[in-house]
């Protein structure tokens, strides 16, 4: 059974390869940057493309709020590399092939079959400030994250 991450709890550390094969750790950001970590089902699927492009289109807003964006799915590095290039995504995509990180974050399946679509805002101290889950309301992940970051200032 997946863990449930509560607001106010410490975000679980992770180490995953990005779309270039470089290891990225949560601990790399602690003390330096707020994070918006979003888990999504599949590169190039309709909803995931809309969501990723919405994060891309608001990327400067996230940067101005002192946050870095990280997308995580179980797709492989090559898939992430193509997805990022195809849609000019300026942020990191991490490959969670065995779903250990999604399990640590309590991102289960939604509607019983689809990998979950969940967004977390983690502050500079590694504390979870938002968990938002919606399989179908893609853009609301972005607006909820921005609102949370603004309220943290």
The Cα 96–Cα 40 span in angstroms is: 11
Q: Residue 53 catalytic?
A: no
Chain-centre distance for alpha carbon 99: 13
Catalytic: which of 35, 36, 48, 52?
A: 48
Please return the burial class of 55, using the count of CB atoms within 10 Å of its CB with bins 0-12, 13-18 and 19+: buried
The Cα 120–Cα 7 span in angstroms is: 9
The Cα 94–Cα 100 span in angstroms is: 12
Instruction: Report the catalytic residues.
Output: 48
């Amino acid at each position: 059974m997946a863990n449930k991450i509560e607001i106010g709890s410490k975000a679980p550390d992770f180490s995953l390869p990005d779309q270039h094969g470089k290891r990225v750790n949560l601990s790399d950001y602690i003390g330096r940057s707020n994070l918006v970590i979003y888990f999504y089902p599949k590169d190039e699927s309709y909803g995931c493309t809309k969501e990723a492009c919405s994060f891309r289109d608001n990327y400067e807003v996230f940067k101005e709020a002192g946050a870095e964006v990280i997308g995580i799915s179980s797709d492989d590095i090559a898939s992430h590399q193509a997805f990022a290039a195809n849609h000019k995504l300026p942020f990191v995509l991490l490959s969670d092939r065995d779903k250990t990180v999604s399990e640590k974050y309590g991102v289960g399946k939604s509607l019983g079959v689809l990998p979950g679509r969940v967004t977390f805002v983690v502050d500079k101290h590694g504390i979870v400030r938002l968990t938002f889950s919606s399989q179908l309301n893609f853009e609301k992940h972005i607006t909820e994250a921005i609102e949370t970051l603004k309220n943290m200032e």
